[in-house]
Amino acid sequence: MTIFLLLSSFLIFIILILIFSKCFYTRRSKEHYRMCAKLPSMPQGYLTHLRLTHKLSTLKPKDVLPFFDSILKQYGPLVHFHVLGHSYVLLNDPDDIKVLLSSSQHINKGPEYTFLKPWLNKGLLTSGNQKWHTRRKMLTYTFHFKILETYVPTFNKHAQCLAKKLENMASNDQRVSIYNHMTLCALDLVCDTIMGTELRSQEGESKEYVKAIDTVTDITINRVCKFWLWNKNIFNLSQNGRNFNKSLKILHTFTENVIKNKRAKLESVNCLEIEELSFGKKQVQSFLDLLIGISKQNPEKMTDLDIREEVDTFLFEGHDTSSTAITMAFIQLGLNQDIQDRVREELYSIFEDSDREATLADLKSMKYLDRVIKETLRLYPSVPSVTRMLKQHLHIREYEIPPDTVIVILPYLLHREEKHFPNPLTFDPDRFLPENSINRHPYAFIPFSAGPRNCIGQKFAMYQMKTVISTVIRKMRIETLGSQDDIKISTQLILRPESLPNIKLTKIK
């Protein structure tokens, strides 16, 4: 019976592979494959493709990056391969990466981002071509430093809430698993600044919404490596698909109600002039305020659906990525007490013994903490892969890569290249001193991507992370109860800790 089940499972796997492969292959011309054959490639052949597809589909999330690392080491920094009929090219040389990312033509995300569209629709993260250009131009000013400054009190509020929770744990001498606390803090902070809505998830409220966002995020991310769930119909019939759609309805209903109530409130006080919202004549309450202001001036370009997709996009991008980065920063500070002491000394030079909250000027003064965060993002970039689906030919060195090829860049591996970062596994914030960075290739460090499609919210993210980390470090000493070897990460669309050492917290004042 066991042998029969194994054979049946294998047969089903092969049939699914053939169905998917046939579907994908018929979309590409012979010329496409002829051009791909001229690229540095992994071994070709149908059985080879099947074996590679099987290998990728059975990899555990923690093994994905080591697998691609082995490919780069074996075949070099530009390598072509096929999976399910898709042509992929993996790049790991900053000169090659610059050609792709600096282009204003090659801006369409890879196919894995289609899995986000049921949630985010065609917002700034998932859209391409003219819609992306128009939307990016429209939204750029919403991250102007004068607007970001209005968010700093909100950053402080939620950072203080986190610090109080951690102080209570320090009093009880608890071992703390930090990641879940960071996730709730980041979710509260981002919801407040993006939607102007207080979830109070750190206080145990909004449980249905918090659970729904966890479910949708987890299933979306995990779906990437499960090729049998790429098909929409198969996915919707699966248990994952049913859970996803149920939770998605909760998220969309919540966002739509927030938009409706916010629009009614703003219209009732006649507070929709975009210039007034932008630069200080009226207080900006949230990113949503600005979007509603834009929609008044451009009702055809910014409908309520457009507002929902951007609010959901920034909620997704803003909370999950930053919570991982803050977590890894705390773990590294707990492993490197000398670096933690330097952070605390810098904070003392800014705040002395006061308990006052951070201002934007204070955050800009945190030069060493800035380097700590950059070094954290070097080792643990929140987005470990960047992909582009080519719509036109891409010329890199002597190679011509045809349209319909997916280009993959793995910042996680790029950031660990010895020639760009000597002793790459050592946590050293001084790598980012100006004198140590001046000769480094600008595309060797891309935690927020680079070029025209870089992260629009990177300053928001840096200020958010500085606020949370500095608030905690001013009040407590962190000790990581383990070693670097205890850190295990997994990766799909974003980087997440799979297992981490606990931390011990000690009050210092």
- Contact between residue 331 and residue 178 where contact means Cβ atoms under 8 Å apart: yes
Per-residue model confidence (pLDDT) at position 18:
52
Please check the confidence at residue 23 and state whether its pLDDT lies above 80.
Answer: no
Query: Band of the pLDDT at 102, cuts 50, 70, 90?
Result: very high
- Distance of alpha carbon 475 from alpha carbon 357, whole angstroms: 12
Q: Which residues of 403-414 are buried (b: 16+ CB within 10 A; e: fewer)?
A: ebbbbbbbbbbb
Q: In what order do the strands lie in the sheet with 503-507?
A: 175-176, 503-507, 476-480
Q: Between 285 and 450, name the one with better pLDDT.
A: 450
Please check the confidence at residue 15 and state whether its pLDDT lies above 60.
Answer: no
Looking at beta carbons, which pairs linking 105-108 to residues 24 or more positions away fall under 8 Å?
A: 105/391, 105/392, 106/388, 106/390, 106/391, 106/392, 106/394, 106/407, 107/132, 107/133, 107/388, 107/452, 107/453, 108/388, 108/389, 108/390, 108/391
- Distance of alpha carbon 435 from alpha carbon 418, whole angstroms: 18
- pLDDT above 90 coverage of the chain, percent: 61
Looking at beta carbons, which pairs linking 266-269 to residues 24 or more positions away fall under 8 Å?
A: 266/292, 266/293
Per-residue model confidence (pLDDT) at position 367:
98
φ/ψ of 55, rounded to 5, equals -60, -50
Residue ranges per domain, the chain?
2-507
Q: Which CATH number fits domain 2-507: 3.40.630.30, 3.30.930.10, 1.10.630.10, 3.40.50.2300?
A: 1.10.630.10
- Distance of alpha carbon 237 from alpha carbon 222, whole angstroms: 16
Q: Between 326 and 53, name the one with better pLDDT.
A: 326
- Distance of alpha carbon 267 from alpha carbon 261, whole angstroms: 10
Do β-strands 503-507 and 175-176 pair in parallel, antiparallel, or remain unpaired? antiparallel
Q: What angle do CA 44, 46, 49 make, to 5 degrees?
A: 70
The per-residue pLDDT of the chain, averaged, comes to 88
- Distance of alpha carbon 445 from alpha carbon 437, whole angstroms: 10
**Mean pLDDT across the stretch 461-469?**
97
Q: Between 470 and 87, name the one with better pLDDT.
A: 470
Q: Between 29 and 473, name the one with better pLDDT.
A: 473
Q: What angle do CA 361, 365, 371 make, to 5 degrees?
A: 135
Q: Which residues of 448-465 are buried (b: 16+ CB within 10 A; e: fewer)?
A: bbbbebebbbeebbbbbb
Structure tokens given for 364: 């800009």
The model's pTM is 0.91
- Short-list 384, 388, 317, 387, CA closest to 119: 317
- Residue 300, judged by CB atoms within 10 A of its CB (0-12, 13-18, 19+), counts as exposed
Q: What is the 3-state secondary structure (H, E, C) of 244-278?
A: HHHHHHHHHHHHHHHHHHHHHHHHHCCCCCHHHHH
Q: Which of 13-17, 82-86, 134-138, 229-233 has the lowest mean pLDDT?
A: 13-17
Q: Which of 76-90, 271-285, 399-413 has the lowest mean pLDDT?
A: 271-285
Q: What is the pLDDT of residues 215-231, one digit of tens each?
A: 998 888 778 777 778 88
Per-residue model confidence (pLDDT) at position 26:
43
